[in-house]
Amino acid sequence: MTARVLDGRAVAQQIYREVADALEQRMAEGGSRPKLATILVGDDPASAQYVRLKQRNAEAVGIESEDHRLPAHTTTDELLALVRDLNADESISGILIQQPTPKQIDMQQIVIELDPAKDVDGFHPINAGKLALGIPGGIEPATPSGIVELLRRSGIVIEGANAVVVGRSNLVGKPTALLLLKRNATVTLCHTRTKDLAGHTRSADILVAAAGRAGLIGKDMVKPGAVVVDVGTNRVGGRQVGDLGGGVEEVAGWLTPNPGGVGPMTRAMLIKNTYEAEVRRRP
């Protein structure tokens, strides 16, 4: 068996086209144009590249972008001041703070300060709480919603499936489990300290690897024909690898490449979130 590819790049392009069409119609009807404010603290080359990609994605669909670069020695209070200014700026639809930030930044405090209506990453406690409680109107986090959208648009049946999420982070693991549960999967949330992890993963029709540990999931831990989503981001030998070991493609029925699977979906859902944030603010 050779796994079929879950092509995040192709599905992301579908989403960009839909947002571009919706925005074009909105502008023709006299609506406001969304604007995304990006914040980068420090000069990490990888983070700078991610910000450039997000800005290009926004501008390609007709969303304006506003770039804010802060030095690596920026304090929490200085970043808070910028966030408050952007919260109050009526021209800004969404605010994106590129992570990771330098160690002296208290990101918990920053996220709490964000206007939840402009929190296009979906990290604010109000947005996270709405997701957990099933209350509509919140902003869903970009990576987890990108995973679910990739599955849905690839024809993967989520309802009734046994789904196992390996990884319990607030950014990916927990919200992914909630979004799968929302779509009527039976969900097991595991992590690196789970006893008999392989026993859980081998039961999964849908397996999401999001622990951030290279090689954690071997081919003997995958149910034949399963849908496997690799969200792990690890640096090994100077290149990005996911959480899967070798040979998983020989067992799985569907598999995301890494890179090129979930990453493009994250950016696409961020752009969609920005557009929808503006629509909610100014119907």
- One of 7, 115, 119, 121 is an active-site residue; which one? 121
Q: Is 98 a catalytic residue?
A: yes
Q: Same domain, yes or no, for 174 and 214?
A: yes
**Residue 133 domain flag:** no
Q: Same domain, yes or no, for 166 and 109?
A: no
pLDDT at 260: 86
Q: Is 121 a catalytic residue?
A: yes
- One of 7, 35, 54, 230 is an active-site residue; which one? 54
pLDDT at 44: 87
Q: Same domain, yes or no, for 250 and 172?
A: yes
Q: Same domain, yes or no, for 178 and 75?
A: no
**Residue 275 domain flag:** no
Query: What's this model's pTM, rounded to 2 decimal places?
Result: 0.93
**Residue 57 domain flag:** yes
**Residue 1 domain flag:** no
**Residue 212 domain flag:** yes
- The two tokens of residue 133 are 């409680």
pLDDT at 2: 86
Q: Same domain, yes or no, for 254 and 147?
A: yes
Q: Could you tell me the CATH number of the domain that includes residue 46?
A: 3.40.50.10860
Q: Same domain, yes or no, for 152 and 257?
A: yes
- One of 7, 35, 55, 98 is an active-site residue; which one? 98
**Residue 151 domain flag:** yes
Q: Is 54 a catalytic residue?
A: yes
Domain hosting residue 146, numbered range:
142-263
Instruction: Determine the Cα–Cα distance for residues 88 and 181; give it in Å rounded to an integer.
Output: 35
pLDDT at 1: 60
**Residue 20 domain flag:** no
The low-confidence residues of the chain, meaning pLDDT below 50, are none
Q: Could you tell me the CATH number of the domain that includes residue 224?
A: 3.40.50.720
Q: Same domain, yes or no, for 99 and 193?
A: no
Q: Same domain, yes or no, for 107 and 164?
A: no
3-state secondary structure the chain: CCCEECCHHHHHHHHHHHHHHHHHHHHHCCCCCCEEEEEEECCCHHHHHHHHHHHHHHHHCCCEEEEEEECCCCCHHHHHHHHHHHHHCCCCCEEEECCCCCCCCCHHHHHHHCCHHHECCCCCHHHHHHHHHCCCCCCCCHHHHHHHHHHHHCCCCCCCCEEEEECCCCCCHHHHHHHHHHCCCEEEEECCCCCCHHHHHCCCCEEEECCCCCCCECHHHCCCCCEEEECCCEEECCEEECCECCCHHHCCCEECCCCCCHHHHHHHHHHHHHHHHHHHHCC
List all residues 6 or more positions away from 66 whose beta carbon is below 8 Å from its beta carbon.
35, 36, 37, 38, 92
| Counted domains in the chain | 2
Q: Same domain, yes or no, for 38 and 93?
A: yes
**Residue 150 domain flag:** yes
